[in-house]
């Protein structure tokens, strides 16, 4: 295997034909533990046994310290003027910025340094004929029952992926059933940990608090969808409701744009080749990175054969 270390990212080349797997959020995290796509680098390494290349980020995606390779380069004035939102931890204005832009900067020198790093990353991927961007989705009720959510960027790819996912859900049905009991316990543990994280940040787990509600809005919507009714949700009953949902929906599956749309992946809009994105459930990446890679490879292999 050929290895090339660049400023901010690593290139691994199996020296055999195959797609280029892009892992843009695998770098370290300094402020918020949920900003890193944990274990995606292990999945990429497992994929290389089938061929292709992997381009793996080594830096934080946190805009104050690093670069988010999936967002777009901000204009200089916006990068400089928005830094104060991150220093003051202005939750709302930070969130607005993070949906669009790749980094903030202290001064023009830092801006140029980060901009060059971003452009070097883009140069490495923009001419590749087939790209698969690998992310993780958290093992929360908000993402359940998706074990792997696929995203595409044109209708032709969407039709092909829909057929492929139907085939592979049948192929892996028993495997997913065997994983469910372990997955269920992992989801409950991760939920309890995240509730404590939210309480540590905001001083409460009160869904009437707008910041807490923002963190859990998708989970609330998903709980009410599973239960089939509007429900009063609070700290005391949240875990009970999660457990009810896991009883109602107890079959994991591959999904197509169930949780993610790719609309924030601004860098992908600059690329011309075949582009797919996958959000792998963190549970699967941690417990079975080789299985995660095998499923991704199955999708890629069938994608090339499906008309």
Question: What are the angstrom distances between the C-alpha of 204 and each of 32, 192, 195, 207?
Answer: 17, 14, 9, 9
Give 103-116 as a 3 state SS string: CCCCCHHHHHHHHH
Taking only the tens of pLDDT, the chain with its 307 residues reads 999 999 999 999 999 999 999 999 999 888 777 778 999 999 999 999 999 999 999 999 999 999 999 999 999 999 999 999 999 988 889 989 999 999 999 999 999 999 999 999 999 998 899 999 999 999 999 999 999 999 998 899 999 999 999 999 999 999 999 999 999 999 999 999 999 999 998 999 999 998 899 889 999 999 999 999 999 999 999 999 999 999 999 999 999 999 998 777 777 777 877 889 999 999 999 999 999 999 999 999 999 887 6
Element holding 196 (H helix, E strand): helix 173-202
Whole-model pTM: value is 0.94
**Distance, CA of 58 to CA of 242 (rounded, Å):** 35
State both tokens at 71. 């967002």
Tracing tokens 């309480």 back to the chain, one arrives at: 199
Q: Do 118 and 260 form a contact (C-beta atoms < 8 A)?
A: no
Domains of the chain, each with CATH number or no CATH: 2-171+252-305 (3.40.630.40)
DSSP state of 235: T
């Amino acid at each position: 295997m050929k290895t090339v270390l660049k400023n901010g990212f690593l290139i691994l080349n199996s020296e055999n034909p195959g797609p280029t797997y892009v892992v843009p959020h695998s770098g370290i995290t300094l402020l918020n533990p949920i900003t890193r796509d944990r274990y995606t680098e292990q999945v990429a390494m497992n994929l290389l046994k089938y061929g292709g290349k992997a381009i793996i980020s080594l830096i934080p995606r946190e805009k104050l310290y690093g670069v988010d390779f999936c967002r777009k380069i901000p204009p200089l004035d916006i990068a400089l003027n928005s830094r104060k939102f991150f220093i003051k931890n202005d939750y709302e204005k930070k969130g607005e910025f993070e949906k669009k832009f790749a980094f903030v900067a202290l001064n023009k020198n830092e801006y140029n340094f980060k901009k060059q790093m971003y452009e070097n990353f883009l140069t490495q991927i923009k001419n590749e004929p087939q790209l698969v961007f690998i992310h993780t989705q958290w093992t929360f009720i908000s993402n359940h029952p998706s074990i792997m959510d696929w995203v595409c960027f044109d209708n032709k790819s969407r039709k092909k992926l829909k057929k492929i996912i139907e085939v592979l859900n049948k192929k892996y049905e028993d495997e997913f059933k065997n994983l469910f009991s372990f997955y269920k316990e992992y989801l409950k543990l991760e939920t309890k940990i995240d509730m404590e994280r939210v309480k540590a940040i905001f001083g409460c787990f009160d869904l009437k608090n707008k910041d807490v509600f923002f963190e859990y809005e998708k989970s609330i919507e998903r709980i009410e969808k599973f239960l089939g009714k509007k429900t009063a949700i609070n700290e005391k009953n949240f875990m009970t409701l999660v457990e009810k949902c896991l009883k109602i929906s107890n079959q994991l599956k591959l999904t197509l744009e169930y949780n993610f749309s790719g609309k924030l992946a601004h860098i992908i809009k600059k690329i011309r080749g075949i582009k797919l994105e996958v959000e792998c459930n963190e549970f699967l990446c941690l417990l079975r990175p080789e299985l995660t890679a095998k499923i991704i490879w199955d999708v890629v292999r069938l994608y090339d054969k499906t008309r």
